[in-house]
């Protein structure tokens, strides 16, 4: 098994090339930019790319799909819950606002338990919704390599700011990933590679969710509007640029917490204001 990590694109996503050493067939996971370099790395190893695989449909993970598909003819693979976005006009517009090309329509939709074969290697598909509804992780059983995608074990903690993200699904997915008997863990952001069991990092990563919730509850000792809540920067800790983008993400993530807290009767909404009960 050949595996190469490359940091690509303006968001610094870790893209991975994985290939069968005997047949030289391979896959590219999350090509989020630097397409020429990815192609050069494949050429250098003499690889034929069978699949362009995306852990999920976020722009920084799929923006190289088009160029790589054109160059290699490989099939684009995603979970249906994220794949269905692509090929629509509004998605093209959304991506062009970000200055990134959207993925072409997805060729192959996969789900939990599916196996992607290339050469003599197989990649097991694990559906891990939460970050996005169609987020996927991948497991190479033989060498025990687990691709965690955006469950990246960073101190920032899990991100669940999409319309269809879910806090509960995020927690269940992380709990499931923790149980997989891997020997190497690969993520799409920051550290990227863990060659020893992340151990406590799993729990610290999950604990960020509770920490956000308790900070929010403290803040709601007085009634607050959503604008107040966003200004408290509980998730991002401080205003970040571009502010518009981060303020929206802060709001979306806080809204997920508020929905749960209101459903559990820990918080009430009175007019425009939320208050701890």
**Which of residues 58 and 79 has its CB atom nearest to Zn ion in the complex?**
58
Report the nearest approach of Zn ion to the CB of residue 179 (Å): 22
- Dist CA 197 CA 92 (whole Å): 40
Residue at shortest CB range from Zn ion: 58
**Which of residues 95 and 274 has its CB atom nearest to Zn ion in the complex?**
95
Instruction: Indicate the pairing of strand 2-8 with strand 13-19.
Output: antiparallel
3-state class (DSSP) for residue 1? coil
**Which of residues 58 and 224 has its CB atom nearest to Zn ion in the complex?**
58
Report the nearest approach of Zn ion to the CB of residue 158 (Å): 10
Q: What is the separation of C-alpha 120 from the centre of its chain, rounded to a whole number of angstroms?
A: 27
**Which of residues 177 and 261 has its CB atom nearest to Zn ion in the complex?**
177
Report the nearest approach of Zn ion to the CB of residue 57 (Å): 8
- Interface residues with Zn ion (CB under 5 A) are 58, 150
Report the nearest approach of Zn ion to the CB of residue 99 (Å): 17
Query: Which residue from 98, 88, 121, 103 is spatially nearest to 31, judged by alpha carbons?
Result: 103
What is the distance between the terminal CA atoms of the chain, rounded to a whole angstrom? 55
Sign of CA dihedral 168, 169, 172, 173: negative
């Amino acid at each position: 098994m050949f595996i190469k990590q490359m940091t690509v694109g303006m968001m610094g996503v870790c893209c991975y090339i994985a290939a069968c050493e005997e047949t030289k067939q391979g896959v590219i996971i999350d090509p989020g930019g630097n397409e020429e370099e990815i192609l050069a790395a494949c050429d250098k190893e003499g690889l034929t790319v069978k699949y362009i695989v995306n852990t999920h449909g976020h722009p920084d993970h799929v923006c190289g799909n088009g160029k790589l598909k054109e160059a290699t003819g490989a099939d684009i693979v995603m979970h249906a819950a994220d794949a269905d976005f692509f090929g629509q006009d509004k998605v093209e517009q959304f991506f062009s606002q970000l200055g990134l090309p959207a993925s072409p329509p997805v060729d192959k939709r996969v789900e939990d338990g599916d196996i992607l074969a290339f050469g003599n290697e197989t990649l097991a598909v694990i559906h891990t919704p939460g970050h996005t509804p169609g987020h996927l992780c991948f497991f190479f059983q033989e060498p025990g390599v687990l691709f965690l995608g955006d469950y990246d074990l960073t101190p920032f903690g899990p991100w669940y700011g999409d319309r269809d993200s879910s806090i509960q699904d995020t927690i269940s997915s992380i709990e499931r990933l923790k149980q997989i008997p891997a020997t190497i863990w690969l993520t799409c952001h920051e550290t990227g590679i863990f060659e020893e069991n992340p151990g406590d990092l799993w729990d610290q990563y999950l604990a960020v969710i509770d920490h956000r919730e308790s900070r929010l509850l403290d803040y709601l000792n007085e009634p607050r509007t959503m604008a107040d809540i966003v200004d408290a920067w509980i998730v991002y800790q401080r205003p970040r640029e571009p502010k518009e983008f981060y303020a929206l993400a802060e709001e979306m993530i806080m809204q997920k917490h508020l929905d749960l807290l209101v459903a559990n009767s820990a918080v009430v909404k009175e007019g425009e204001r939320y208050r701890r009960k």
